[in-house]
Amino acid sequence: MSDVIVRFDNVSFEWGINKPILDGVSFTIRRGMKLTLMGQNGAGKSTIFGLIAGLHTPESGIINIVKGVSIATSRQVIPPNEMNLTVREFFISFAKATAGQGKIYNIDKLIDDVLEVVNLKGHTKIHDQIIKDFSGGQQARLLLASALIQDPDLLLLDEPTNNLDKAGIAHLTKFLIDYQKTVLVISHDAEFLNAFTEGVLYLDVYTKKIEQYVGNYFNVVKDITARVEKENMKNAQLQKEIQAKKDQANVFAYKGGRLRLVAKRMREKAEELEEEIVDVRKEDKSIRPFNIPSQPDLIGEILHISSFETLKNGKKVKHKAKISLNKNMHLLLQGPNGIGKTTLLERLASGHAAGEKVKEGIRIGYYRQDFSTLNFEDTVYQSLSSAMLAGGEKLDEERMRSVAAGFLITGEFIRTKIGDLSEGQKGLVAFARLVLLKPGLLILDEPTNHINFRHLPIIAKALDKYAGAMILVSHVPEFVKQIRIDEILDLEK
């Protein structure tokens, strides 16, 4: 049996007052294991990473990391303050984490080695390129490489497949299968997880506990589903017994006399049974079915693309095209990481396009993969209010809260700052904004990133039915298959 390198013993943690994340959590991670960390958006998966990495301190309990075990985290996003660094500058800080703060003599060789691992080989000047000039998929690879350059004993990967194309995911999967050290992964990509997972740590957002399972990802999900069904069946049986006891108690109480004592015992028995009812897990809660209304009175051509640019080996290449989108037309934009998909979408959304033109007066709903269209200083309430007003509606708080509740945005959540939300919660806020905005042109850049797999069929159905013009970028074939696509523009071809 391999030795334990991380042990959580009765650990509790909360974000501020009345925001408990973990309650008496205990689990172990053994050397060489490849584990998945599961749980609903906002349950606290990234917080567990922060606790393991020593970025947070628990309120109570003990986190024991074996002395000498090095840990590196591949983050979900590159923060804004690192976007203007060169590749070399970006990696130096991570390499120093391993080598100490002394001079690193072989940094270019180290960078080349990790870029090779994440399949981001490029032209010779790649070390001097600015981070913000890379595509979302290329930035995802840089995030992964920044963890690998530290050569850690424990690798923590937070949504590593987000923004990666098919080739990138295949490359990462092979790397993890061959990897000899310990890995803990957060991801919503089931096929990817099943390729290497040996066990699951399941964080229940309701009980705030971790359940530990052994087995591949699909088997564990099956076990959890079976357990929930069993709990629901038991609850249904208990509810029947409780109601029967209450009905009997009412009959006996009505008859009076000594039977009142029997009625009292019946009520006590009903109360005992009520305590046995298991709380149904909130993980099983998915967002409500929804529609994204399109801007009213859409007439004629909404978008025209006569030319576009791609990036090949660091050089811009111009192409001619003849794409025209009217209302109720859906365009799929394809191509590998780094070819220029996000750049094209940004130009369309900002109105700075050369060979692309959006009709005047068209409201654009832009779902960006990095959520930079959201103001992180706004509360969720402010963000949804501004979308509602931009969509031509008067501020109707009741309707706004109803839309928000459909995306599991309730209670304190609505008064939380956008910047304090998990990436998955930001995604749900972005979709709620689209519903309130009523766009004429919908631009979606990797809308499955960070989103819980339970929500994806509901989102796909809403996009399938969208009646305005739509441009979609997604590297998830199963998701795209569920959406009506009228035209495809493949930037590689």
pLDDT at 284 over 70: no
**Structure-block tokens of residue 43:** 């349950």
Q: What share of the chain is helix, strand, coil (3-state, %, to 5)?
A: 40, 20, 35
pTM comes to 0.67
Tens of pLDDT, residues 119-141: 777 655 788 889 988 887 788 88
pLDDT value of residue 483: 96
Superfamily of domain 4-221: P-loop containing nucleotide triphosphate hydrolases (3.40.50.300)
Q: Does residue 100 register a pLDDT over 60?
A: no
Inform me whether the pLDDT recorded for 98 exceeds 70: no
Which of 215-224, 233-242, 397-406 has the largest mean confidence?
397-406
> In a 10 Å sphere around its CB, with 0-12 CB exposed, 13-18 middle and 19+ buried, how is residue 109 labelled?
exposed
Under 8 Å between Cβ of 371 and 444:
no
Residue 11, pLDDT score: 95
Residue identified by tokens 């956008």 is 418
Q: How many helices (H) and strands (E) does the chain have?
A: 14, 17
Tokens of 181: 């050290």
Q: What ranges do the domains of the chain cover?
A: 4-221, 236-284, 303-490
Lowest mean pLDDT among 30-34, 146-150, 254-258: 254-258
Whether pLDDT at 205 is above 50: yes
Residue 65 confidence (pLDDT):
94
Kindly report which listed range (152-166, 277-291, 418-432) carries the lowest average pLDDT score. Answer: 277-291
Render pLDDT for 21-77 as a digit per residue (tens, 0 to 9): 899 999 999 999 999 998 877 788 889 999 999 999 999 999 999 998 999 988 878
Question: What percent of the chain lies above the pLDDT cut of 90?
Answer: 36
Q: What is the DSSP string of 76-113?
A: SS--GGGTTSBHHHHHHHHHHHHH-SS--TTHHHHHHH
For the segment 453-492, what is each residue's pLDDT rounded down to a tens digit?
A: 778 899 999 999 999 999 999 988 889 999 999 999 988 8
Quote the pLDDT of residue 22: 92
- Provide the 3-class DSSP secondary structure of residue 48: helix
Assess whether pLDDT exceeds 70 at residue 1: no
- Does 174 score more than 70 pLDDT? yes
Q: Do domains 4-221 and 303-490 have the same CATH topology?
A: yes
Tell me what the pLDDT averaged over the chain comes to. Answer: 86
385 pLDDT above the threshold of 50: yes
Check if the beta carbon of residue 406 is closer than 8 Å to that of residue 431.
no
CATH superfamily of 303-490: P-loop containing nucleotide triphosphate hydrolases (3.40.50.300)
115 confidence band (pLDDT: 50, 70, 90): confident
Determine contact, residues 203/210, Cβ cutoff 8 Å: yes
